[in-house]
Amino acid sequence: MKEQYERADVDVGVDRKNYLNVVSKLPLHYQPGTTWDYSISTDVLAFVIERISGKRIEDYLQERIFRPLGMKDTAFSIDEAQYARLAQAFESDAAIKIGNWENVRDASRRPSGGGGLLSTAEDYYRFAQMLLNGGEFGGVRILSRKTVEFMDSDHLGGVRGPLYLPGPGYGFGLGGAVRLADGMAGTQGSPGEFNWGGYGGTYFWIDPKEKLVGVLMMQAPTPRGYYRALYRSMVYSAMQ
């Protein structure tokens, strides 16, 4: 099964025109509703949005989310003049091959619905604060309050994955992990918290009870788990 997906190269090797045709011929790893695991579902969702809106996903996101929120440094690629601003992975992370996976200077590469955006801490704070505010930021409404509540609710109902993702004490909503109760997870937080992280080490969480947004922009794939937990611990330990 894994070999079939690798041969199809569905992450970056299939162009926009042929993607859905290729994906539709691949078998499912599990029966729907039986297992939580990583998948290409969000990538497929981007193509659904393109079909419905009639716009490329990168243009749709700019028009409906990034520009309204003032996220001026968020895109799928950057020009050479901005390359010096990129955080680079450590040499010890070379085996991750993130540089080969994401050539962010190549504006012709296919945008992914599941990853590959470039951003800044300030930009992503705006996005996360919008979710904390129930879909609104700076006088601009992106989502309805009930939509955000639906996103931030557990949709697993006890279903777990092969690696016990998204982790002890957490379920999964629409796009991120949802903290279910106190005393189950290995890090500090509050029930109802919503979080997720990126492949390169980036991480965010939203704690509605504490009215808190945390954003960590890090390009260190190997030690990402350690620093995410350390960052959270330092933030919550500083609260009075």
- Delineate the domains of the chain, giving CATH numbers in brackets: 2-237 (3.40.710.10)
As a whole number of angstroms, the distance between CA 74 and CA 238 comes to 30
More confident: 14 or 157: 157
pLDDT in tens, 116-170: 889 999 999 999 999 999 999 999 999 999 999 999 999 998 888 887 778 899 9
Residue 191's pLDDT band (cuts 50, 70, 90): very high
Considering the entire predicted model, what is its pTM?
0.91
pLDDT in tens, 136-151: 999 999 999 999 999 9
Amino acid at 68: P
As a whole number of angstroms, the distance between CA 133 and CA 112 comes to 27
Average pLDDT over the chain, rounded to an integer: 89
Report whether pLDDT(61) > 80.
yes
Give the residue-averaged pLDDT of 69-73: 97
Which residues 6+ apart lie within 8 Å of 30 measured at CB? Answer: 37
Give the percent of the chain with pLDDT over 90: 53
As a whole number of angstroms, the distance between CA 164 and CA 37 comes to 9
Burial 113-131 (b: 16+ CB within 10 A, else e): bebbbbbeeebbbbbbbbb
Residue 52's pLDDT band (cuts 50, 70, 90): very high
Which of 2-11, 28-37, 64-73: highest mean pLDDT? Answer: 64-73
Residue 200's pLDDT band (cuts 50, 70, 90): confident
More confident: 12 or 110: 110
Report whether pLDDT(94) > 80.
no
How many CA within 13 A on the CB side of residue 206? 26
Burial 155-184 (b: 16+ CB within 10 A, else e): ebeeeeeeeeebbebbbbbeebbbbbeeee
Do 143 and 133 contact (CB within 8 A), yes or no? Answer: no
Q: What angle do CA 197, 212, 90 make, to 5 degrees?
A: 35
Residue 100's pLDDT band (cuts 50, 70, 90): very low
Q: DSSP per residue over 121-165, as a string?
A: HHHHHHHHHHHHTTSEETTEE-S-HHHHHHHTS--STT---TT-T
Residue 239 corresponds to which tokens in the numbers above? 């609260």
As a whole number of angstroms, the distance between CA 221 and CA 203 comes to 11
